[in-house]
């Protein structure tokens, strides 16, 4: 049943007063502060402090490489230069927050030789003549795709587009980044990756910050990415229409990898973890200390919103009271495949669908399939809901707050029709399937597939 049908059908007296539903406001996201439905996992002022270690690695680059403005004019600070073969081009970049954070660069590209040499003032003494020339070379050609069937043509076309681009000459250099910590200097060994193509020199990070974030119960690997490649992790606030300056990667599914699409958080925005939301309180300049504070006020906003609920994306986590106790979703379903199922006893579509849901549950529950129900029944209907469940054979946990279409979880998830459902991997918290594909025979097919993939 759609929200339009609900709006037309359920304009009825409640407690002697007519309650009229506004279609435009029906099922919109709203603040959940002050409701007893959501019990906080921790106190609102909880602080999580994480220590990270500097690591030299090129496997976690920034999203975009930074361009270096080159000029034939020698910049201030260059005291001595090597014997260049061609006409040098100079540039500078800044790393860290120390006063002497400028890094001098000279690029030597003699015409007709095919040689590209880069000089980087790694020791910061302004003398490029004591630096070893870095030869920028072409990387090995990519391995040809062996993809067949669906997607093969798209893969081949992408490889052809790559081949059409001008070649990029690459190289790396180790250097020390200087920081000013509490008035004293601190040096951090680091590295940069350089790329040169069609007269443009760019660089990316060859370093990272790695650690683990924990609330005392659950730990996740975490990494920091300075997207401006300036080795400044303390400057992360930005305007709403600007890209992230610092990205926090959290290995939510514990697969040993960081997924930039599904496990990346803008340090300037809310971070959803441990069933709640946190804000970055502070990051030290060199990125070795990350402090998170539990966000108060509107609990479920920001990174956890209904528009993000797509297949392959993380589910919105929450704590809630059930008819028989309480539940922490998805933490209570680790090792399981779980169906988050929205229904109401008054809805004919839900009435028709639930017997099939019960059948699938009974067939696959022993193999690791669970269900968490959410009832959108009206106030003072607790006994009726329980009777309805008993008649259908519903034995799994069900959330009921008596708020009808304003049910907290339904608003959180932006539910616009009934029945609605999400199939979720309890280990990763990722959505495996949703909506109409979980109705009828589709539910059994989706559950079978999810359980099979989990045991492979």
pLDDT in tens, 50-94: 899 999 988 899 999 999 999 999 999 999 999 999 999 999 999
**What number is the average pLDDT over the span 411-416?**
87
| pLDDT above 60 (res 32) | no
pLDDT of residue 416: 85
Give 319's pLDDT tier (boundaries 50, 70, 90). confident
| pLDDT above 50 (res 437) | yes
pLDDT of residue 37: 29
Q: Determine the Cα–Cα distance for residues 170 and 181; give it in Å rounded to an integer.
A: 33
String of DSSP letters for 165-187: SPP-EEEEEEEEEEEEETTEEEE
pLDDT of residue 104: 96
| pLDDT above 70 (res 158) | no
Q: Which residue has the higher pLDDT, 38 or 391?
A: 391
- Does the pTM surpass 0.85? The reply is no
| pLDDT above 70 (res 406) | yes
% of the chain at pLDDT higher than 70: 80
| pLDDT above 80 (res 215) | no
Q: Determine the Cα–Cα distance for residues 105 and 99; give it in Å rounded to an integer.
A: 18
**What number is the average pLDDT over the span 298-318?**
66
Whether residue 194 contacts residue 136, with contact meaning beta carbons closer than 8 Å, is answered with yes
Q: At what angle do helices 441-455 and 348-364 cross, to 10 degrees?
A: 30
Residue 97: partners with Cβ closer than 8 Å, 6 or more residues away:
179, 180, 232, 234, 285
pLDDT of residue 155: 45
pLDDT in tens, 83-132: 999 999 999 999 999 888 999 999 999 887 778 999 999 998 999 999 99
| pLDDT above 90 (res 154) | no
pLDDT of residue 370: 97
Q: Which two tokens stand for residue 211?
A: 């650690």
Residue 238 exposure: Cα atoms within 13 Å on the Cβ side: 18
| pLDDT above 80 (res 456) | no
Torsion of CA 172, 196, 228, 211, to 10 degrees: -30
| pLDDT above 60 (res 157) | no
Residue 383 exposure: Cα atoms within 13 Å on the Cβ side: 1
Helix (H) or strand (E) holding 354: helix 348-364
CB count within 10 Å of CB 150 equals: 7
| pLDDT above 70 (res 160) | no
| pLDDT above 80 (res 153) | no
For the chain, the structural domain boundaries read 3-40+303-455, 47-56+208-294, 66-205
pLDDT in tens, 351-382: 999 999 999 999 999 999 999 999 999 999 99
From residue 17, how far is each of 12, 20, 146, 348, 380 by CA, in Å? 9, 10, 68, 26, 15
Q: Determine the Cα–Cα distance for residues 171 and 197; give it in Å rounded to an integer.
A: 12
% of the chain at pLDDT higher than 90: 52
Q: Which two tokens stand for residue 344?
A: 């109401």
Residue 159: partners with Cβ closer than 8 Å, 6 or more residues away:
142, 144, 145
Lowest mean pLDDT among 138-142, 323-327, 414-418: 138-142
Q: Determine the Cα–Cα distance for residues 196 and 49; give it in Å rounded to an integer.
A: 39
Q: What is the mean pLDDT of the chain?
A: 81
**What number is the average pLDDT over the span 142-148?**
46
E-assigned strand segments in 198-315? 200-205, 207-214, 219-226, 246-250, 264-266, 271-273, 276-283, 289-294
The most distant pair of C-alpha atoms in the chain lies apart, rounded to whole Å, by: 93
Residue 264: partners with Cβ closer than 8 Å, 6 or more residues away:
225, 247, 248, 249, 258
Residue range 3-40+303-455, CATH number: 3.40.30.10
DSSP letter (8 states) at residue 141 = P
Q: Determine the Cα–Cα distance for residues 348 and 351; give it in Å rounded to an integer.
A: 5
Give 296's pLDDT tier (boundaries 50, 70, 90). low
């Amino acid at each position: 049943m759609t929200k339009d049908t609900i709006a037309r059908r359920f304009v009825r007296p409640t407690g002697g007063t007519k309650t009229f539903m506004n279609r435009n406001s029906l099922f919109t996201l709203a603040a959940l502060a002050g409701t007893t439905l959501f019990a906080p996992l921790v106190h609102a002022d909880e602080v999580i402090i994480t220590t990270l270690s500097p690591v030299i690695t090129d496997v976690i680059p920034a999203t975009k490489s930074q361009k270096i403005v080159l000029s034939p004019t020698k910049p201030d600070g260059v005291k001595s230069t090597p014997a260049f073969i061609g006409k040098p081009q100079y540039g500078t970049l800044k790393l860290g927050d120390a006063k002497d954070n400028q890094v001098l660069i000279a690029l030597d590209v003699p015409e007709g030789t095919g040689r590209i040499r880069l000089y980087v003032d790694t020791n910061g003494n302004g003398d490029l003549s004591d630096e070893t020339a870095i030869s920028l070379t072409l990387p090995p050609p990519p391995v040809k795709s062996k993809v067949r069937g669906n997607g093969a043509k798209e893969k081949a076309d992408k490889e052809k587009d790559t081949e059409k681009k001008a070649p990029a000459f690459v190289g790396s250099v180790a250097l020390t980044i200087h920081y000013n910590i509490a008035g004293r200097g601190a040096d951090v060994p680091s590295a940069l990756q350089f790329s040169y193509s069609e007269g443009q020199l760019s660089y990316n990070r060859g370093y990272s910050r790695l650690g683990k974030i924990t609330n005392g119960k659950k730990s996740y690997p975490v990494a920091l990415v300075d997207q401006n490649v300036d080795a400044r992790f303390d400057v992360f606030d930005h305007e709403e229409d600007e890209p992230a300056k610092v990205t926090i990667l959290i290995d939510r599914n514990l697969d040993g990898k960081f997924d930039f699409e599904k496990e990346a958080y803008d340090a300037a925005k809310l971070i959803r973890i441990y069933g709640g939301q946190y804000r970055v309180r502070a990051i030290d300049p060199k990125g070795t200390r990350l402090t998170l504070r539990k966000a108060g006020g509107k609990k479920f906003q920001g990174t956890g919103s209904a528009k993000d609920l797509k297949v392959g994306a993380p589910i919105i986590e929450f704590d809630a009271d059930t008819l028989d106790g309480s539940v922490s979703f998805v933490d209570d379903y680790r090792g399981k495949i779980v169906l988050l199922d929205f229904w109401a006893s008054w809805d004919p579509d839900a009435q028709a669908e639930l017997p099939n849901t019960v059948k699938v549950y009974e067939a696959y529950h022993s193999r690791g399939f669970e269900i968490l129900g959410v009832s959108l029944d009206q106030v003072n209907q607790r006994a009726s809901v329980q009777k309805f469940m008993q008649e259908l054979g519903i034995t799994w946990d069900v959330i009921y707050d008596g708020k009808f279409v304003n049910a907290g979880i339904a608003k959180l998830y932006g539910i616009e029709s009934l029945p609605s459902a999400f199939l979720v991997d309890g280990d990763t918290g990722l959505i495996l399937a949703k909506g109409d594909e979980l109705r009828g025979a589709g539910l059994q097919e989706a559950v079978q597939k999810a359980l099979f993939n989990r045991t492979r």
